[in-house]
Amino acid sequence: MKHRLEAFIGVILCIVITTGCWDRVELSDRAFDLAASTDLLEDGSYLTAAQFIIPSRISGGASNGQPYFVETGNGKTLLEAIQKSRQKLSRLITRGHRRNYYIGEDLAKHGIKELLDGFSRDPGNRIRLDIWVVKGSRGMEALQVHYPLEKIPSVASSKIHRAIGGTTSTSYLDFMMASSDEGSSPTLPVVDIVQGASPQKTILFYGRAIFNHDYKLVGYLNFVEGAYRQWILKRISYLDIAEEIPEAGGSVGIIVNSFGSKVKSSILGTNKVKIEIELTGAGHVGENNTNLNLNESQNLKLVQNEINMKTSEHVLEMITKVQKQFGTDVLGFNQIVNRQHPAEWNKIKGHWDTIFPDIEVTVHVNINLKYVGLVGPSLLYKESEIK
């Protein structure tokens, strides 16, 4: 009881100091930014747009209108553009839930260097972010698409990406890691705005955008090419492959759902590198448009070998395209050489860009078909036609 006075003063102090939080922002004073975009205008200024939730429309079953709206602003720098859009907003922008960011093709070609710093600097932003390039269009258009399956349309692109077997929410970090790494070049996923069956436009997951060291867009990989790249990097969980089997006069489609990749490098002398890629996978037959009875093991082997051979060719075509057409290492070859031949890497890392296009690459795909599905031969054929 000696300390009654001290305790009393302490309690009073606590009340005085800690009542009323200086940083309190009520939910009703926040505007939740779920996705945003930036575009380059003709006059060289940035146009930024953001998709905000309208909280009163998101709850309750009967919705009268879209539960979101898009607000824009433009300025010389990104922050200035955001400032312009804030002049139109009655609430404080909160980005804790933002997962998607769209960049127009013009801006991507012009270079996105000036855009990226803010994403990691401001603690209000999340690093777990997907940045998308909108092919042949403006980033803002991706925000304006009304996507019927999702209440908030901007989550569609990352959900599509995940549903078709890609990795989501890591593209910003991957981009930064690739840019800060000696030799490698960054990539971003791509969406395309297409005319769907309905009168509205819809979002299509297109593939991968390739950037050079100046953060400028140099080209695209389409979906299958992008998937091959992801396979090499072990970042894939699902892929459909359909190939013509000339011996059987038809095509067979398979679904691959487990993936492995081994990349081996060897140094063949000064500035000459050889890369051997072995891609493994396991899957099952999805369609069989030939007269082969896949319950026969030699038939299955025929199909398997044919698909493996053709896929190897396609993967090699993709790699050659990256090497010759883009000349940017987006396949992680620099890291492979660094890990497997660290001493040599220290010598050649300075001129990796000139070595990369001339790397000799061999690809060997080895998919193991584990199941043929519920039928052996296709039910279409007569007994006599089945081989």
Binding residues (CB under 8 A) for other proteins: these are 10, 13-14, 17-18, 21-23, 96, 120, 123, 126-128, 169-170, 173, 176-177, 180-181, 335, 338-339, 342-343, 345-346
Bridge partners (DSSP) listed for residue 360? 274
In this structure, how many other beta carbons lie within 10 angstroms of the beta carbon of residue 24? 7
Tell me whether residue 17 or residue 62 sits nearer to other proteins (CB atom).
17
Phi, psi of 286 (to 5 degrees): -100, -35
State the nearest-atom distance from the C-beta of 342 to other proteins, in Å. 3
State the nearest-atom distance from the C-beta of 131 to other proteins, in Å. 15
Distance (Å, whole) CA 318 – CA 26: 51
Tell me whether residue 46 or residue 215 sits nearer to other proteins (CB atom).
215
State the nearest-atom distance from the C-beta of 19 to other proteins, in Å. 12
Which residue has tokens 């007994």? Answer: 383
Distance (Å, whole) CA 193 – CA 183: 32
State the nearest-atom distance from the C-beta of 330 to other proteins, in Å. 15
Tell me whether residue 182 or residue 313 sits nearer to other proteins (CB atom).
182
Residues whose CB is less than 8 angstroms from the CB of residue 250 and which lie 6 or more positions away in sequence, other chains included:
244, 288, 289, 290, 291
Tell me whether residue 206 or residue 333 sits nearer to other proteins (CB atom).
333
Tell me whether residue 302 or residue 337 sits nearer to other proteins (CB atom).
337
Query: In this structure, which amino acid lies at residue 315?
Result: V
Tell me whether residue 106 or residue 353 sits nearer to other proteins (CB atom).
353
State the nearest-atom distance from the C-beta of 279 to other proteins, in Å. 17
Residues whose CB is less than 8 angstroms from the CB of residue 178 and which lie 6 or more positions away in sequence, other chains included:
184, 185, 186, 187, 330
Tell me whether residue 7 or residue 375 sits nearer to other proteins (CB atom).
7
Q: At what angle do helices 113-121 and 171-180 cross, to 10 degrees?
A: 110
Give the strand pairing for 201-211 and 92-94: unpaired
Reported residue count of the chain is 387
State the nearest-atom distance from the C-beta of 16 to other proteins, in Å. 10
Tell me whether residue 20 or residue 61 sits nearer to other proteins (CB atom).
20
Residues whose CB is less than 8 angstroms from the CB of residue 195 and which lie 6 or more positions away in sequence, other chains included:
201, 202
Tokens coding 126: 């999340």
Report CA-CA distances (Å) from 27 to 56, 71, 94, 377: 12, 19, 10, 61
Distance of CA 251 to the CA centre of its chain: 30
State the nearest-atom distance from the C-beta of 119 to other proteins, in Å. 11
Tell me whether residue 312 or residue 335 sits nearer to other proteins (CB atom).
335
Q: Dihedral, CA atoms, 318, 319, 324, 328, nearest 10 degrees?
A: 110
Q: Is 181 helix (H, G, I), strand (E, B) or coil?
A: coil
State the nearest-atom distance from the C-beta of 159 to other proteins, in Å. 11
State the nearest-atom distance from the C-beta of 180 to other proteins, in Å. 4
Bridge partners (DSSP) listed for residue 252? 243, 288
In this structure, how many other beta carbons lie within 10 angstroms of the beta carbon of residue 203? 23
Report CA-CA distances (Å) from 49 to 141, 209, 314: 10, 21, 39
Tell me whether residue 126 or residue 387 sits nearer to other proteins (CB atom).
126
Distance (Å, whole) CA 12 – CA 78: 46
State the nearest-atom distance from the C-beta of 341 to other proteins, in Å. 9
